[in-house]
Structure 1
Amino acid sequence: MKIKRKIEIAVISDVHLGTYGCHAKHLLNYLNSIEPKKLILNGDIIDVWQFSKRYFPKSHLKVIKKIMNMSADGVEIIYITGNHDEMLRKFSGTSIGNISIVDKLVLELHGKKAWFFHGDVFDVSIQNAKWLAKLGGYGYNILTLLNRFVNWYLERNGKERYSLSKKVKNGVKSAIKYINDFEKVISNLAIENGYDYVVCGHIHQPKMAYIETRHGKTTYLNSGDWVENFTALEYQFKRWKVYHYNKDKLSPFYVDEELEDMDLKDLIAAITIVEQHEKKIK
């Protein structure tokens, strides 16, 4: 029997289900290794911008079913909308069983206030030129697909994985400035509004940093992504940590056996289970 780690809150973002860059199997292993009270999905879980009926593998469906099963088992699921799944914003404020959809969230954590949102509202390229942002998204998708072939070759020859997109980002001064500005603006706004923690995603850069200015202090947290970093945020014992799948896993947690052979009919059945669970509660 696999022992799952019990944690108060797990935060994941930028999974991008429905794209070639998504590492759904890694995420499944992670979700199978934890038992959270709350699971916060902080945006861009399903990539509607680049969604194609031709590409939505079973492993991606299994992630959705896993989340549904967690909800049916009593885990509170909070889906915070992002820019790639912005179509869900018209359903903001609605709930199905233990699953709720919101645009932002504030939680009281042991006497401290935590402010959660995806982060795209601070992205000028999205607000002012959405078509350009989408075009960049397609280019990023192609780059991550190419990266998968590169890493397949490297791993086959016993060499370390390599991130092309991270190399490109780190090599472009404007990209570094954008990330720094993003973190600075969000942290300053959190301080102005009296939030002890500000939790976001969007820029695919996992980070935890203590920020202090003459106006106050806050802790900036970014959950990273499941395209290149494979990271999550975890809150337990009044502390936050960045979980790195490649570094922090002590032993592998494989996909549950009941999830091995699953198709779209099973996904519909999973949704039905959630609805039945809701009726029992009522």
Structure 2
Amino acid sequence: MDKKELDIVVISDVHLGTYGCHAKELLTYLGSIKPNKLILNGDIIDMWQFSKSYFPEAHIKVLRKILKFASEGIPVYYLTGNHDEILRKFTNASMGNLHLLNKLVLNLEGKKAWFFHGDVFDVTMQHSKWLAKLGAIGYDSLILLNSVVNWMLVKLGKKKYSFSQKIKASVKKAVKFINQFEQTAADIAIEKKYEYVVCGHIHCAEMREISNNEGKVMYLNSGDWVESLTSLEYKDGQWSVYSYNPQDFENRQEEEQEDLKQMMNIEELLYKLST
């Protein structure tokens, strides 16, 4: 199967190292694309909940695949988020084609695109970080419980159900926070004369034009790989939201296994990047 050629792919909120992370599905997706640039827009590794006792092989393979992109000459931009904020002390560091940044501005066919995670707009992050971390643990526990319930639903031939998405849709405060987040990001982007503002953080994939009295901007969010399993793709001047569908990869298992066999380990890939 031919790999999908794309100008830019944006992925965020993978949360490697947590039970909710869909690493296998992400690995399958990454194996199906050939991007000219890969932007990891924060919370790729969940260092808030990092544990040596839980970091499965599939999670390691995702890191290997990302490093493989960089070793093959594809620029990979790792933009820090709140769950991997410990990396911010190394901002502006580079190793070959792997770049660690807090934000990124690209010129896309004459239009400026501003990429950053978005946690700077989260009041909880600014004033009650311990509460945010407690909430993250609760969220991961909810996802774990949800996975068990969904396994039972699939066995019974019924559709999967998302606890957290239902809660977000039902609780007015959550909906209000998301709307304020999007509007704030758009307002600042308009002030800075950007045509695109690209975020993560709130786990809600989106692509829509937002305006105010000063102008308008295209707001984009890459969603997450915990529940929605989404990314942003840019090709020939057009953005789109990609949603993972397992049926798209039914005939690709042998090719994926061969790709993994040829992949170097992390140490070898890092050495290749540094030389």
SS in 2 for 1:204: coil
Deviations 1:56-113 (A, max 9, x none): 0000000000011111111110000000000110111010011000000100000000
Report whether the alignment pairs 1:72 with 2:82: no
* Greater Cα offset, 209-218 or 78-87: 209-218
Contact between 1:32 and 1:256, CA under 8 Å: does it hold in 2?
Answer: no
**What does residue 92 of structure 2 align with?**
93
- Displacement after TM superposition at 1:269 (Å): 2.6
Deviations 1:181-223 (A, max 9, x none): 1001111111111110000000000000011222111000000
SS in 1 for 2:204: coil
Aligned residue identity for 1:79: Y
**What does residue 3 of structure 1 align with?**
2
SS in 2 for 1:8: strand
**What does residue 230 of structure 2 align with?**
231
Structure 1 unaligned regions, length at least 5: none
Moved over 3 A (4+): 247-256
Aligned residue identity for 1:53: K
TM-score when normalising by structure 2: 0.95
* Separation of aligned partners in 2, 1:142 and 1:261: 35
* Separation of aligned partners in 1, 2:101 and 2:129: 22
**What does residue 166 of structure 1 align with?**
165
**What does residue 268 of structure 1 align with?**
267
Structure 2 unaligned regions, length at least 5: none
**What does residue 41 of structure 1 align with?**
40
**What does residue 178 of structure 2 align with?**
179
Report whether the alignment pairs 1:218 with 2:200: no
Distance 1:252 1:16, change over 3 A: farther
Distance 1:193 1:253, change over 3 A: farther
SS in 2 for 1:256: helix
**What does residue 119 of structure 2 align with?**
120
**What does residue 244 of structure 1 align with?**
243
Report whether the alignment pairs 1:257 with 2:258: yes
- Displacement after TM superposition at 1:140 (Å): 0.2
Contact between 1:42 and 1:201, CA under 8 Å: does it hold in 2?
Answer: yes
Distance 1:247 1:197, change over 3 A: farther
* Greater Cα offset, 88-97 or 242-251: 242-251
Identity of aligned residues (%): 55
**What does residue 54 of structure 1 align with?**
53
Q: How many residues align?
A: 273
Aligned-pair Cα RMSD in Å = 1.8
* Separation of aligned partners in 2, 1:43 and 1:214: 30
Contact between 1:23 and 1:227, CA under 8 Å: does it hold in 2?
Answer: yes
* Greater Cα offset, 211-220 or 235-244: 211-220
